[in-house]
């Protein structure tokens, strides 16, 4: 159901499988027959875990019991007994402009001195992460000929099978073109590795190594942190929240609104400069 009807991504399906199998193991292999009391005990087992982990596990089980009820495989839905951890939403980790500049300074230095194919690949990867806000999975699985030098956008299929239009900057297109010239003509992927494409784990390692070379603590940087920086810096520059939602591929704008944690001074300046009722010459009553 999750694959065919909800269009869930492979990583989502794997996460659901792990959570359901773990819960079933805790309940002696009788998850489908569990009642409210059993789920309450399961919630107690989860108490030492982080709230975000508990929320994810509970969400997987709610979808599972909802499916069983909808398919009439059981007459009740005991998932109300599952915990609903509250708390404030965690703000995304981001890099400031100076730190992003430091990353690109390292790349520019490498590209200026007889760059290797690996240098060109890393440049293309980082330009697309920070310049277009791609998810790691979307990036590593790009088909070889999806991005073209004369086309300032790409149409991607992201989470849930949803298509979206992603802007590709002039810098990113130039970086991709320079790197793509090193690929075999019959390459199926833009970032091939062995018989498949570059893995998300390897992308993670490459980005952290670049951070270390730029003098930034590697644990602060990941592909997703660069996606967060893309979103936050666009919003700081005055980007429309709906446009940002579309570029990031968020199904719900509430997910995009987390990026409104920008500097309050910047928000005040934006209102004072852009609000249609602002008129410096109008007398105040």
Residues with a catalytic annotation lie at 135, 159, 224, 227, 250, 259
CA distance 242 to 83: 32
Distance between alpha carbon 273 and the CA centroid of its chain, in Å? 32
**CB neighbour burial string for 156-173, b if at least 16 within 10 angstroms, e if fewer:** bebbeeeebebebeeebb
Residues sharing a CB contact under 8 Å with residue 59, sequence separation 6 or more, in sequence order:
none
> What does the block give as tokens for 264?
């309050």
CA distance 244 to 183: 32
- Contact between 232 and 266 under an 8 Å Cβ cutoff? The reply is no
Q: Which of 130, 218, 191, 121 minimizes the C-alpha distance to 166?
A: 130
Phi, psi angle pair for 12, to nearest 5°: -65, -45
Q: Which of 258, 257, 237, 246 minimizes the C-alpha distance to 132?
A: 246
> What does the block give as tokens for 230?
């893309």
Q: Which of 29, 28, 30, 61 minimizes the C-alpha distance to 43?
A: 61
Dihedral of the alpha carbons of 64, 67, 69, 70, in degrees to the nearest 10: 170
CA distance 282 to 107: 50
In the block, residue with structure tokens 């030492």: 48
């Amino acid at each position: 159901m999750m694959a065919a009807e909800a269009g869930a991504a492979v990583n989502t399906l794997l996460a659901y499988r792990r959570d359901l199998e773990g819960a079933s193991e805790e309940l002696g292999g009788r998850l489908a027959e569990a009642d409210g009391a059993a789920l309450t005990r399961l919630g107690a087992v989860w108490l030492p875990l982080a709230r975000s982990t508990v929320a994810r596990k509970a969400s997987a089980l709610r979808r599972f019991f909802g499916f069983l009820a909808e398919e009439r495989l059981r007459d009740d839905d005991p998932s109300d007994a599952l915990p609903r951890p509250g708390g404030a939403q965690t703000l995304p980790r981001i890099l400031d402009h100076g730190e992003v500049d430091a990353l690109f300074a390292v790349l520019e230095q490498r590209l200026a001195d007889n760059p290797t194919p690996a240098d060109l690949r890393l440049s293309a990867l980082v330009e697309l992460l920070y310049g277009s806000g791609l998810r790691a999975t979307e990036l590593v699985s790009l088909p070889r000929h999806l991005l073209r030098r004369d086309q300032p956008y790409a149409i991607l299929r992201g989470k849930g099978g949803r298509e979206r239009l992603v802007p590709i900057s002039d810098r990113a297109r130039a970086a991709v073109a320079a790197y793509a010239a090193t690929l075999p003509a019959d390459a199926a992927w833009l970032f091939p590795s062995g018989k498949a494409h570059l893995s998300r784990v390897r992308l993670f390692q490459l980005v952290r190594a670049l951070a270390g070379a730029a003098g930034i603590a590697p644990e602060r940087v990941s592909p997703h942190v660069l996606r967060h920086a893309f979103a936050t810096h666009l919003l700081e520059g005055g980007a429309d929240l709906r446009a940002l939602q579309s570029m990031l591929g968020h199904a719900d704008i509430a997910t995009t609104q987390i990026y409104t944690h920008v500097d309050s001074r910047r928000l005040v300046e934006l209102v004072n400069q852009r609000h249609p009722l602002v008129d410096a010459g109008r007398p105040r009553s």
